[in-house]
Amino acid sequence: MRKFSKKTAIALAAAGALTMAGVAYAAWSSSGAGSGSVTSTTALNSTISPTGTSDALYPGAAKTFTITVNNPNSYPVKVTSISTGSSAADGGCGAGSVTSDAVSNPSGTIGANGSATYTLTAHMTTDADDACQGKTFSLNLTATLASAA
């Protein structure tokens, strides 16, 4: 029987261990290829509704009123602007007898599926007809929103 030196035995043992480690690594390694997919949402339009009541207007007066902007989207948004509003003709009360100022870059963010209240200013013309007395004026407004995600 052949006798190995201590150095040779250690070298053979190390080589065997490396060979086994390489075999074990090769037996458990793999890679794969493929693809994943994700979809995007579709933005939903906000809604605007009146909030409470304001002080009564009279010819030449300016009064504040509040509206609520609703965000039906699943992500937060920022209102970038709210358009001017103008009343429609109502009997002898002429169109445009009441208007509201536009609002640019109002502060705050509306959370996902949330809402926020904004204050606007309405004006009644100085020459509003007597037929404008005791009326409730609906002002068509548009809010422009941008993603704040």
Rounded distance, CA 128 to CA 92, Å?
10
Q: Which residues contact 2 (CB under 8 A, 6 or more apart)?
A: none
Please give the pLDDT value at position 29: 85
- The full set of domains in the chain, from first to last, is 47-147 (2.60.40)
Residue percentage of the chain with pLDDT more than 90:
72
| pLDDT mean over 34-39 | 93
Rounded distance, CA 18 to CA 94, Å?
94
Per-residue pLDDT reduced to its tens digit, 73-132: 999 999 999 999 999 999 999 999 999 999 999 988 999 999 999 999 999 999 999 999
Rounded distance, CA 97 to CA 95, Å?
6
Distances 89 to 7, 45, 49, 65, 135 between C-alpha atoms, Å:
106, 27, 20, 20, 11
Please give the pLDDT value at position 141: 96
For the entire predicted model, the pTM comes to 0.74
Please give the pLDDT value at position 3: 65
| pLDDT mean over 61-68 | 96
- Selection from 131, 50, 52, 61 nearest residue 99 by Cα: 61
Q: What are phi and psi of 40, to 5 degrees?
A: -105, 155
Using DSSP's 3-state secondary structure scheme, residue 149 falls into coil
